[in-house]
């Protein structure tokens, strides 16, 4: 692997500053023990809060990506965080194959360095933005979001990134810009799935400009306190927590500002099944299955009942007003 330097946007702490993993973990274990009441009731309430503050451990597989807790409303779900093993091993990333385990197996060939994102279309400041600059554009925040896949399963993932609006403001969209189109990498040399005809490559997603400007819409660079693993859309991806997972495009190559609604990949492939909006909506079924319930990966047992899917994936209070007066059955 490459050794990343300050020049590339990675500032390394002195090795003497780093708490050894074993010490860190034993402290976590202590806190958990106390929270479970072993060390007395007085300490337990404090420890309980502390244990809740970061309910997962960094997996230690990628470079660390430090962050601060997000202050955006609704950005820190209290649901139990999905195991890193599942979040990085059960993925839909068709550029690497249609099987859920294909991305983890084949994405390692993806070359994420150097990386730049082309900003084009109706903006005052188009151009190529290097990953190193994008990383520093705004403070990296931790956001614990529910992720609801259109296939009927869900996870809870602690992302690291910042609101996409920070980037949008920087590039200054023109008044005529109404939509944002996201074009992702399609490299037949490193992505075996691109040679298949499952979808029209490159994978394209899109949002209305007001959706893209919503503070919950995240430009993510990491998860679980580390940079994104390749199978999760490294080096940067979109995360739109109130929409089905496929709206959250991975490994972004271009962001284009347009006046007309972008032609998104899944909508082109099957318009009757996947709408442009694709907001999580338990009342509007997919033609081939119900969207009323979901299975939380790694948590709901094999024979447990599936849990009810929430309107806008539980983000209705934050995003409901974006769709006021819209017929969500028609604009699914």
Partner 1 sequence: MALVTPWRFAARLNAIGLHPWSKRLLFGLMLLPALLLVAAVALDQLGANPAQALVRRTGDWTLRTLCLVLALTPLRVGLQLTALARWRRMLGLFVYFYATLHLLSYAWLDMGFELTDIAHDIPKRPFILVGFTAYLILAVLAVTSPGWMVRLMGGKTWRRLHQLVYVVAGLALLHFFWMRAGKNDFAEVGLYALIISLLLGWRLVRAVKFDKKPR
- Contacts to partner 1 by CB under 8 A: 86, 89-90, 98, 100-101, 151, 153, 197-199, 269-270, 273, 285, 287-290, 295, 297-298, 302-303, 305-306
- By beta-carbon proximity to partner 1, the closer residue of 288 and 330 is 288
In angstroms, give the least distance from the CB of 302 to partner 1: 5
Q: What is the DSSP letter of 109?
A: G
CA gap 104, 88 in Å, rounded: 7
Closest separation in Å from C-beta 297 to partner 1: 5
CA distance 197 to 95: 10
The H helix count followed by the E strand count for the chain is 9, 13
Name the minimum Å distance from CB 266 to partner 1: 9
The CB-of-150 to partner 1 minimum distance in angstroms stands at 9
Beta pairing, strands 218-223 & 204-208: unpaired
Q: Which is nearer to partner 1, 139 or 269 (CB)?
A: 269
Which residue lies nearer to partner 1 by CB, 62 or 82? 82
Q: Which is nearer to partner 1, 9 or 298 (CB)?
A: 298
Report in angstroms how near the CB of residue 231 gets to partner 1 at its nearest: 13
Q: How is 86-108 classified by DSSP, letter by letter?
A: HHTTS---GGG-SSTTHHHHHGG
Handedness of CA 103, 180, 126, 215 (dihedral sign): negative
In 3D space, the residue among 186, 181, 187, 221 whose CA is nearest the CA of residue 204 turns out to be 181
Taking the complex as a whole, the smallest distance from the CB of residue 305 to partner 1 amounts, in Å, to 4
**Which residues does residue 156 pair with via DSSP β-bridges, in sequence order?**
146
Q: Which is nearer to partner 1, 129 or 153 (CB)?
A: 153
CA gap 153, 146 in Å, rounded: 11
Least separation in angstroms between CB 294 and partner 1: 11
Cα(258)–Cα(176) distance, integer angstroms? 8
Closer CB to partner 1, 151 or 316, in the complex: 151
Q: Give CA–CA dist 31/25, Å, rounded.
A: 10
Nearer to partner 1, 89 or 126 (CB): 89
Q: How far is the CB of 185 from partner 1 (least distance, A)?
A: 20
The rounded distance, in Å, linking the Cα atoms of 163 and 238 is 10
**What is the sign, positive or negative, of the torsion defined by CA atoms of 280, 275, 256, 196?**
positive
Select 153 or 162, whichever has its Cβ closest to partner 1.
153
The secondary structure element, H or E, covering residue 308 is strand 307-308
- Per the listing, tokens 């002195």 go with 14
């Amino acid at each position: 692997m490459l050794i990343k330097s300050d020049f590339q946007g990675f500032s390394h702490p002195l090795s003497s500053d780093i708490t050894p993993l074993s010490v860190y973990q034993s402290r976590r274990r202590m806190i958990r023990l106390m929270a479970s009441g072993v060390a007395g009731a007085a300490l337990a309430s404090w420890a309980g809060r502390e244990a809740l503050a970061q309910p997962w451990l960094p997996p230690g597989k990628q470079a660390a990506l430090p962050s601060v807790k997000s202050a955006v409303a609704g950005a820190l779900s209290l649901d139990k965080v999905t195991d890193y093993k599942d979040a990085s091993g059960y993925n839909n990333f068709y550029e690497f194959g249609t099987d859920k385990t294909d991305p983890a197996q084949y994405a390692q060939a993806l070359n994420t360095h150097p990386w730049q994102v082309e900003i084009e279309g109706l903006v005052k400041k188009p151009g190529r933005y290097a990953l190193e600059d994008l990383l520093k554009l705004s403070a990296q925040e931790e956001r614990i979001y529910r992720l609801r896949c259109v296939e009927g399963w869900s996870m809870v993932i602690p992302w690291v990134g910042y609101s996409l609006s920070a980037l949008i403001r920087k590039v200054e969209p023109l008044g005529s810009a109404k939509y944002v189109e996201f074009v992702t990498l399609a490299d037949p040399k490193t992505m075996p799935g691109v040679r298949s005809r499952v979808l029209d490559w490159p994978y394209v997603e899109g949002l209305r400009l007001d959706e893209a400007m919503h503070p919950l819409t995240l430009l993510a660079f990491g998860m679980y306190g580390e940079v994104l693993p390749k199978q999760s859309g490294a080096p940067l991806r979109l995360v739109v927590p109130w929409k089905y997972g496929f709206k959250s495009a991975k490994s972004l190559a271009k962001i284009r500002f347009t006046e007309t609604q972008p032609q998104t990949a899944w909508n082109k492939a099957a318009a009757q099944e996947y709408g442009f909006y694709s907001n999580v909506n338990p009342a509007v079924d997919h033609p081939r299955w119900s969207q009323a319930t979901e299975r939380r990966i790694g948590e709901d047992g094999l024979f447990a009942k599936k849990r009810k899917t929430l309107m806008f994936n539980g983000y209705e209070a934050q995003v409901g007003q974006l769709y006021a007066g819209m017929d969500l059955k028609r604009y699914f």
